């Protein structure tokens, strides 16, 4: 567990460098702009669709006899828009960071923090895309399956953090070590530390509940997974037979 907190602290420390801050902020800006434009363009249609669906349902027709259901449905629709906007921005930012920013982050972090770690390039662009698709599909299925539980106030914050933690783990762990680890080393790291990857993602996702700061979760996650993955890779190579160790030595 100390390795998880150490990676998280190192990620926060890296946020003090202006080059890294720029690499992290532009994906957030793109995501906010994209979803804000869509929200402004289709907000009225969404509210009308939601209120119409509620009023046309058997339960809606029953409740409308005693409650001002039209006003309630419209108000609920306008409340749901920002509630849906936040997770959509977080997921979109995570995808942009995973695809477009992680290589640049690694180029900034690895030479300074892990200068002697040999690059064995076990990952590929196709592997990164496939990994992201699997992460999105499984996360979506889990969200749909657990949807009834989201109606229970004590459970929905925990479920949201766990699902976002899983998405972070599946999305970032591959790209974090793809350039430095071999294919065999990636498999070993994912298997040996499968729960650590998850708990690191869950730890970072808890900050999504903080106003404004929560929007930085995908950005901090990318850095935290780089630190955790490269540190674990260095330890893995130190424990390997000498013939399998890189000629330049492992990072300490």
Nearest to 217 by CA among 48, 93, 46: 93
Residue whose pair of structure tokens reads 């892990």 in the numeric block: 114
Res. 243 pLDDT band, cuts 50 70 90: very low
Q: How many residues does the chain have?
A: 252
Nearest to 221 by CA among 53, 28, 42: 28
Q: From residue 107, how far is each of 48, 156, 239 by CA, in Å?
A: 48, 37, 25
Q: What is the pLDDT of residue 70?
A: 66
Q: How far apart are CA 198 and CA 8, in angstroms?
A: 13
What's the angle, vertex CA 97, arms to CA 96 and CA 99, rounded to 5?
65
DSSP structure string for 135-190: HHHHHHHHHHHTGGGGGSTTTHHHHHHHHHHHHHHHHHHHHHHTTTS-HHHHHHHH
Contact 204, 8 (CB under 8 A): yes
- Between 2 and 130, name the one with better pLDDT: 130
Q: Buried b vs exposed e over 82-96: b needs ≥16 C-beta within 10 Å?
A: eeebeeebbbbbbbb
Question: Which of the listed ranges 12-21, 76-85, 127-136, 207-216 does the model predict with the highest average pLDDT?
Answer: 127-136
Give the pLDDT of residue 252: 31
Query: Quick count: other Cβ atoms within 10 Å of Cβ 112?
Result: 9
Query: Within a 13 Å sphere around the CA of 44, how many CA atoms are in the beta-carbon half?
Result: 1
How far is 82 from 65, CA to CA, in rounded Å?
29
Residue predicted with more confidence, 62 or 143: 143
Tokens of 2: 């100390």
Q: What is the mean pLDDT of residues 214-229?
A: 87
pTM confidence score: 0.77
Measured from the Cβ of residue 164, the count of other Cβ atoms closer than 10 Å reads: 24
As to burial, measured by CB atoms within 10 angstroms (0-12 exposed, 13-18 middle, 19+ buried), residue 152 is exposed
pLDDT digit string, tens, across residues 170-187 = 889 999 999 999 999 999
């Amino acid at each position: 567990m100390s390795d998880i907190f150490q990676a998280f602290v190192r990620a926060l420390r890296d946020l003090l460098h202006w080059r890294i801050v720029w690499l992290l902020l532009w994906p957030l800006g793109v995501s906010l702009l994209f979803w804000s434009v869509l929200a402004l363009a289709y907000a009225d249609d969404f509210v009308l669709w939601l209120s119409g669906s509620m009023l046309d349902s058997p339960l809606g027709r029953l409740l409308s006899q005693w409650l001002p259901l039209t006003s309630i449905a419209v108000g609920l629709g306008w409340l749901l828009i920002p509630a849906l906007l936040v997770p959509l921005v977080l997921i979109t930012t995570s995808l942009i960071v995973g695809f477009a920013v992680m290589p640049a982050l690694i180029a900034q972090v690895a030479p300074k923090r892990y200068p002697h770690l040999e690059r064995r390039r076990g990952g590929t662009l196709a592997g990164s895309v496939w990994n992201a698709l699997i992460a999105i599909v499984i996360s979506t299925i889990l969200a749909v399956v657990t949807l009834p539980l989201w109606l229970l106030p004590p459970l929905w914050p925990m479920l949201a953090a766990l699902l976002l933690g899983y998405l972070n783990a599946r999305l970032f762990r591959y790209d974090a070590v793809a350039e430095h680890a071999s294919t065999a080393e990636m498999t070993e790291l994912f298997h040996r530390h499968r729960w650590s990857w998850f708990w690191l993602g869950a730890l970072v996702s808890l900050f999504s509940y903080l106003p404004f700061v929560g929007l930085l979760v995908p950005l901090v996650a990318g850095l935290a997974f780089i630190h955790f993955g490269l540190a674990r890779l260095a330890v893995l190579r130190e424990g390997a037979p000498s013939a399998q160790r890189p000629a330049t030595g492992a990072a300490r």
